[in-house]
């Protein structure tokens, strides 16, 4: 135990007209309580707000593998220069890899000044003068093509920043033996681009110079200067923001993203490891496609590089309960059990084991030392708890050394929350995941939340939390409210084992969730007030709790204040007989249909109106 003892003290004084007694706080250094776990403060990553592709994962080319299941090759456009003519199309025969079977075919009818395709990246390709970027792509020319191919990184007015060319006699594709009439084998072509200028809105162009057909696959432009210098690594400034926090745990890959809309879009970790050409894309639950270039191996490496314990979350045989959930029958959960067991082997197994070998072949023979695994995300009721029990007990029997995290539901209180805690306690779950996105007032009232929790039951994992002000903005008030509840985490850290603010990242202009810890665009990054509160607490984690005693602290009644709000999630609804009462039963607000929407602020989304004495919202597409 270290000699230095530090204790958090939250002082609260109500401002009234009456004279206040002096506030006296006594720190009992003679009565040290429990040691504070080093795991107390962690972070949470979910691919929401375009946090991964085009963000933390710094690939510059959007839809690089042409695998997004769209009618047209989204992110790519035909590029016909001068008198060039032709067409582009998505194909699937004789793919590079069966997991990523779509690729792009360019058919040139007249080469003009160049015939092909262009890609503008994720809102523009940002490159720095003198920096190095690895260009990589697979291509194959058909028998009818006898020309060359040029790849250009250029400004929006077609000024070249870097260029690579395959001469007409420079193709390295091998013909398929004994398979006449079929295209040759795929060949990979690579180059290093060193841009001549710094620009934020470059684009990549691929041009043919003769008639005929060429197929393209997995076109990548990737910075060499990644975080910790890793191949297929992470955007340096964003990852550094995470390391600078000094988090103890890293939860990944989500969130609701883990469960998906259905079993097709559920996050299956095995699809995200191994060579890039074999990683299947997924339709992100937040409305866009994931390449899985940032996969489970990269998450584990990130945890290692920032000094955090990995904390992966797996689905519990149940799709997202907010979105027409589907549940696997209780007698059909073995694939989910095996998925968890294989993940533990991937993380901790020897290189001679099947999944340990996959990890070793990716470049990490040593184990990742996984200690935690979460089963289920923000799930509730018996439909989840019955499935969780089967999976958790099977995993615990095989790996008693792994701490298993269950769920207390989507709300931090209420009947489902209490049921979650009851069942998890009966099951002897190691940690129970609580989530709360609440108002500043709620946060300030939760400073003592964990005072009365059972010290002999499961530990708490506050796995997602953030203070939401009425305008849903990151501001100083929300950061102060979070700081208040964090003092409660520390004081009760004998029961609260680890925590995580959520979500982590938001790309400016690509927001699905308004309140986030870190904001960025293609060239910049900045932390919110909440980021610096988290950093303050992580950098000054106490070693041991010293009890405090207070005298002269009084609580004065404040007049009621605040706002009420109405909200829908992908549904239509009506609200009527709206009444707000005080603790004494007095009416603080009652909705009067005759006054229409007087006093209500403008709606940010949806179609709201008064109808038959109720407030109705009729747009089912907004959330």
Q: Which of 160, 133, 164, 134 is nearest to 149 (CA)?
A: 164
Q: Where are the strands (E) in 292-447, listed by range?
A: 309-314, 372-375, 403-407, 431-438
**SS3 at position 145:** coil
H helices, E strands: number in the chain: 9, 31
Residues 6+ apart with CB under 8 A from 551: 21, 23, 24, 26
Tokens 């997004």, located at residue:
68
Q: Which of 480, 590, 616 is nearest to 536 (CA)?
A: 480
User: Which token pair is 573?
Assistant: 């609804």
pLDDT band at 567 (very low <50, low <70, confident <90, very high): confident
User: Do the beta carbons of residue 246 and residue 538 sit within 8 Å?
Assistant: yes
What's the whole-model pTM score?
Answer: 0.88
For residue range 3-39, list pLDDT tens digits in order: 333 333 333 333 334 455 788 889 999 999 999 999 9
Q: Of 24-28, 80-84, 211-215, 601-605, which gets the smallest average pLDDT?
A: 601-605
What rounded mean pLDDT belongs to the chain? 93
Q: DSSP assignment, residue 263?
A: T
Q: How far apart are CA 324 and CA 315, in angstroms?
A: 15
Q: What is the pLDDT of residue 623?
A: 64
Q: Does the CA dihedral 524-529-531-533 come out positive or negative?
A: positive
Torsion, CA 464, CA 468, CA 471, CA 477, rounded to 10: -130
For residue range 337-378, list pLDDT tens digits in order: 999 999 999 999 999 999 999 999 999 999 999 999 999 999
Does the pLDDT value for residue 570 go beyond 90? no
The mean pLDDT of 245-254, rounded to a whole number, is 98
Q: What is the pLDDT of residue 556?
A: 59
Q: What is the pLDDT of residue 4?
A: 35
Q: What is the pLDDT of residue 158?
A: 97
**Centroid of chain to Cα 77:** 29
Secondary structure, 3-state, 185-250: CCEEEEEEECCCCCEEEEEEEEEECCCEEEEEEEEEEEECCCHHHCCCCCCHHHHHHHHHHCCCEE
**SS3 at position 10:** coil
Residues 6+ apart with CB under 8 A from 508: 519, 520, 521
List 190's β-bridge partners, or say none. Answer: 136
pLDDT band at 583 (very low <50, low <70, confident <90, very high): confident
The mean pLDDT of 436-449, rounded to a whole number, is 96
Q: What is the pLDDT of residue 558?
A: 53
Based on the residue annotation, tell me whether 378 is a catalytic residue of this protein.
Answer: yes
Pairing of strands 114-119, 199-208: antiparallel
Q: Which of 312, 258, 308 is nearest to 286 (CA)?
A: 258
Does the pLDDT value for residue 571 go beyond 90? no
Angle value at C-alpha 66, between 65 and 70, nearest 5 degrees: 145
More reliable by pLDDT, 620 or 470: 470
List 354's β-bridge partners, or say none. Answer: none
Q: Which of 502, 500, 487 is nearest to 446 (CA)?
A: 487
Q: How far apart are CA 434 and CA 417, in angstroms?
A: 9
User: Do the beta carbons of residue 374 and residue 312 sit within 8 Å?
Assistant: yes
Q: What is the pLDDT of residue 13?
A: 34
Does the pLDDT value for residue 484 go beyond 80? yes
More reliable by pLDDT, 611 or 201: 201
Q: What is the pLDDT of residue 10?
A: 39
List 160's β-bridge partners, or say none. Answer: 154
Does the pLDDT value for residue 458 go beyond 60? yes
User: Do the beta carbons of residue 217 and residue 139 sit within 8 Å?
Assistant: yes
Q: Of 81-90, 209-218, 448-457, 555-564, which gets the smallest average pLDDT?
A: 555-564
pLDDT band at 579 (very low <50, low <70, confident <90, very high): confident
User: Which token pair is 578?
Assistant: 């709206």
User: Which token pair is 558?
Assistant: 């404040």
Q: Please give the helix or strand (H or E) that residue 29 lies within, else none.
A: none
Q: What is the pLDDT of residue 434?
A: 98
Q: How far apart are CA 367 and CA 373, in angstroms?
A: 15
Tokens 């979070």, located at residue:
482
For residue range 400-413, list pLDDT tens digits in order: 999 999 999 999 99
Q: How far apart are CA 145 and CA 106, in angstroms?
A: 11
pLDDT band at 174 (very low <50, low <70, confident <90, very high): very high
Q: What is the pLDDT of residue 3?
A: 37
Q: What is the pLDDT of residue 575?
A: 86
User: Which token pair is 113?
Assistant: 């000044």
pLDDT above 90 covers a percentage of the chain that reads 81
623 by Cβ neighbours in 10 Å (0-12 / 13-18 / 19+) ranks as middle
| Helix, strand, coil percentages, rounded to 5, for the chain | 20, 30, 50
The one catalytic residue in 59, 154, 378, 497 is 378
Q: Which of 157, 214, 208, 222 is nearest to 187 (CA)?
A: 214
Q: Which of 341, 337, 336 is nearest to 354 (CA)?
A: 341
Q: Please give the helix or strand (H or E) that residue 80 lies within, else none.
A: strand 76-81
How long, in residues, is the chain? 623
Distances (CA, A) of 438 to 56, 265, 477: 27, 29, 13
Does the pLDDT value for residue 118 go beyond 80? yes
More reliable by pLDDT, 321 or 573: 321
User: Do the beta carbons of residue 327 and residue 383 sit within 8 Å?
Assistant: yes
pLDDT band at 613 (very low <50, low <70, confident <90, very high): confident
Q: How far apart are CA 156 and CA 185, in angstroms?
A: 34
Pairing of strands 496-501, 41-44: parallel
Q: What is the pLDDT of residue 14?
A: 35
The upper half-sphere exposure of residue 293, i.e. CA atoms within 13 Å in the direction of its Cβ, equals: 28
Q: What is the pLDDT of residue 11?
A: 37
User: Do the beta carbons of residue 37 and residue 538 sit within 8 Å?
Assistant: no
User: Which token pair is 176?
Assistant: 């398929």
Does the pLDDT value for residue 42 go beyond 60? yes
Q: Which of 488, 473, 394 is nearest to 443 (CA)?
A: 488
Tokens 């209500």, located at residue:
600
Q: Please give the helix or strand (H or E) that residue 25 lies within, else none.
A: strand 24-27
Q: How far apart are CA 192 and CA 226, in angstroms?
A: 15
Q: DSSP assignment, residue 56?
A: T
Q: Please give the helix or strand (H or E) that residue 126 lies within, else none.
A: strand 125-127
The upper half-sphere exposure of residue 347, i.e. CA atoms within 13 Å in the direction of its Cβ, equals: 27
User: Do the beta carbons of residue 41 and residue 462 sit within 8 Å?
Assistant: no
Q: How far apart are CA 203 and CA 250, in angstroms?
A: 34
Does the pLDDT value for residue 555 go beyond 80? no
């Amino acid at each position: 135990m270290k000699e230095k003892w530090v204790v958090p003290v939250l002082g609260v004084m109500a401002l009234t007209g009456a004279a206040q007694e002096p506030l006296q706080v006594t720190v009992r250094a003679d009565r040290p309580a429990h040691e504070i776990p080093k795991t107390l403060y962690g972070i949470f990553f979910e691919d929401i707000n375009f946090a991964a592709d085009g963000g933390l994962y710094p690939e510059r080319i959007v839809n690089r593998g042409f695998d997004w299941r769209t009618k047209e090759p989204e992110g790519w456009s035909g590029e016909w220069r001068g008198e060039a003519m032709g067409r582009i199309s998505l194909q699937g025969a004789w793919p590079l890899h069966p997991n990523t079977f779509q690729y792009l075919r360019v058919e040139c009818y007249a080469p003009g000044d160049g015939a092909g395709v262009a890609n503008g990246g994720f809102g523009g390709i940002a490159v720095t003068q003198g920096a190095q970027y690895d260009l990589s792509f697979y291509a194959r020319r058909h028998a009818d093509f006898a020309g060359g191919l040029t790849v250009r990184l250029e400004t929006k007015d077609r000024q070249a920043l870097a260029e690579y060319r395959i001469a007409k006699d420079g193709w390295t594709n091998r013909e398929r033996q004994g398979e006449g009439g079929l295209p040759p084998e795929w060949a990979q072509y690579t180059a290093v681009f060193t841009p001549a200028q710094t620009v934020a809105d470059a684009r990549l162009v691929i041009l043919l110079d003769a008639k005929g057909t060429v197929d393209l696959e997995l076109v990548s432009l990737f910075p060499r200067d990644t975080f910790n210098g890793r191949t297929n690594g992470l955007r340096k400034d964003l990852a550094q923001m995470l390391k600078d926090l000094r988090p103890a745990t890293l939860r990944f890959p989500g969130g609701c993203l883990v469960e998906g809309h259905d079993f097709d879009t559920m996050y299956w970790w095995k699809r995200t490891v191994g060579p890039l050409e074999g990683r299947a894309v997924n339709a992100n639950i937040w409305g866009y496609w994931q390449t899985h270039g940032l996969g489970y191996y990269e998450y584990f490496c990130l945890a290692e590089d920032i000094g955090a314990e990995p904390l992966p979350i797996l689905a519990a045989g149940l799709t997202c309960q907010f979105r027409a959930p589907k549940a696997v029958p209780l007698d059909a959960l073995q694939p989910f059990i095996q998925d968890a067991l294989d993940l533990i082997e991937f993380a901790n197994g020897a290189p001679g084991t099947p999944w340990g070998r996959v990890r070793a072949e990716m470049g990490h023979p040593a184990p990742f030392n996984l200690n935690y695994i979460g089963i289920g995300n923000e799930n509730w009721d018996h439909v989840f708890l019955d499935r969780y029990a089967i999976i958790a007990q099977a995993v615990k029997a095989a790996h008693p050394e792994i701490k298993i995290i269950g769920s207390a539901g989507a709300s931090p209180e209420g009947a489902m929350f209490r049921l979650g805690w009851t069942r998890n306690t009966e099951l002897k779950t190691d940690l129970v995941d609580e989530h709360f996105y609440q108002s500043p007032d709620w946060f300030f009232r939760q400073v003592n939340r964990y005072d009365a929790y059972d010290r002999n039951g499961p530990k708490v994992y506050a796995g997602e939390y953030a203070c939401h002000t009425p305008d849903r903005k990151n501001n100083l008030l929300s950061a102060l409210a979070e700081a208040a509840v964090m003092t409660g985490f520390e004081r009760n850290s004998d029961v609260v084992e680890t925590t995580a603010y959520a979500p982590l990242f938001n790309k400016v202009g690509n927001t699905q969730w308004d309140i986030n810890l870190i904001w960025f665009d293609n060239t910049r990054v900045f932390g919110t007030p909440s980021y610096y509160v988290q950093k303050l607490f992580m950098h000054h984690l106490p070693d041991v709790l010293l009890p405090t005693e207070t005298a002269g602290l009084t609580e004065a009644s404040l007049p009621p204040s605040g706002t009420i709000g109405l909200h829908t999630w992908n549904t239509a609804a009506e609200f009527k007989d709206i009444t707000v009462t005080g603790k004494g039963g007095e009416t603080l607000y009652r909705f009067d249909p005759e006054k229409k929407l007087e006093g209500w602020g403008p709606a940010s989304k949806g179609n709201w109106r008064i109808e038959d004495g109720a407030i109705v919202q009729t747009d089912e597409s907004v959330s």
